[in-house]
Amino acid sequence: MSISDNTKKSLEKIGLTSYEIRTYSSLLKTGELTASDLSQKSGVPYSKIYEVLGSLEEKGWIGSDDSRPTKYFAKSPATALEVTKQKAESEFKQNENIVLRELVPMYEKSGVSERPDIWVLSGIMNIASKILEMVETCRNEVLIALPKANEELVKQALPKLRQLHDKGVVITILMSSEMDKESLKALKRVASIKVKKGLFGGGIISDKRYVVILFGQLANESESTEAVAIWADHAGLAGFAREYFEYLLRDAKDVE
C-alpha cells in the first residue's frame, strides 16, 4: 500500500523531503533494510541514500542497529511526529526570543505604539492565556492582583514567575486571603506577597505599560457570570491601574 498524496503533502509541510518520504515509506512496508536494499526499494539513488538516512535518523523518524552491514528501521509515526513537533517548538521559541529582544525596543521607540491596542477578552482560558503571555514577556516589573482563589491559574503562572524572578524582574502579588497556604508559600519564594480580605476585581500590570483588568468570575468556570477582561497596550491606563494597585497594598497584610 502506497502513501496517499495528501499524506505526502503533510509530511513535506512538516519538513520531510521527497527522498526521505520514499525511504521512510519503504521501511514501514518492509521492516529492517540495509542502505543498499533501501536504495533499490525506495528508488533513492545510492549516492544519496546515506545522506537521506542520516537526516531521517537525526529528525527522529528512523533508527539503526549494530549489524554489519547496518540495518535501518522505521520508528512509529506517533513517536516521530512528537519528536518533530518538540524540535519545531523549541526552534520557534529560540527564534521568538531573539526577535523580541531586538524588535520590541525598536517598536516601543518608534512612536507607533502610541496608538494603543485595547482588546476585550472573554472566557477563563482566553484571559489566562493573555496573562501568561504578558508575564512571560515582562522585563522589569510585574504587579498582579487576583480577586479570589484560582489554583489553576497560579499553577500555570508559577513556572513563568520563577523564570522572571531568576532574570531579576521585580514581582509583587496581591492575593485574596482565601488563597490556600501552600500556593501562597510557593509564590512567596519568587515574589513579594500581600493578602487582603474582600478583594474585588483584579489585574496585571507589566512594565508600567501593558495591563489586564479582570471583571466577573475568574476562579471557577462553572460560575454563572462569564469571566471578562480588558487588555491594553496603554501607558496611561497602566499608570492609573498601578496607582490603584499601590492604594490597595497600603492596608494589605504580609503572608505569615
The predicted pLDDT at position 111 comes to 62
Q: Take residue 122 and report the three cell numbers written for it.
A: 472573554
Q: DSSP letters of 138-168?
A: --SEEEEEESS--HHHHHHHHHHHHHHHHTT
Q: DSSP letters of 77-110?
A: HHHHHHHHHHHHHHHHHHHHHHHHHHHHHHHHHH
Name the average pLDDT for the chain. Answer: 82
Please determine, for residue 175, whether its predicted confidence score (pLDDT) is greater than 50.
yes
What φ, ψ does residue 150 adopt, rounded to 5°? -140, 80
Please determine, for residue 166, whether its predicted confidence score (pLDDT) is greater than 50.
yes
143 neighbors 169 (Cβ within 8 angstroms): no
The domain covering 116-254 belongs, at the CATH homologous superfamily level, to Endonuclease Chain A (3.30.870.10)
CA torsion through residues 176, 182, 185, 191, sign = negative
* pLDDT tens string 45-76: 999 999 999 999 999 999 999 888 999 999 99
Cell 519503504 belongs to 26
> Among 39-53, 109-123, 209-223, 242-256, which stretch is predicted with the lowest mean pLDDT?
209-223
What angle in degrees, to the nearest 10, is found between the helix axes of 151-166 and 181-188?
Answer: 10
Residue 234 or residue 57, greater confidence: 57
Residues whose CB is less than 8 angstroms from the CB of residue 229 and which lie 6 or more positions away in sequence, other chains included: 120, 121, 122, 127, 130, 203, 212, 213, 214, 215
> Among 10-24, 70-84, 108-122, 131-145, which stretch is predicted with the lowest mean pLDDT?
108-122
Given the candidates 1.10.579.10, 3.40.50.300, 3.90.79.10, 1.10.10.10, the CATH classification of the domain at 5-75 is 1.10.10.10
Q: How far apart are CA 49 and CA 46, in angstroms?
A: 5
Q: How far apart are CA 157 and CA 130, in angstroms?
A: 11
160 neighbors 144 (Cβ within 8 angstroms): no
Please determine, for residue 119, whether its predicted confidence score (pLDDT) is greater than 90.
no
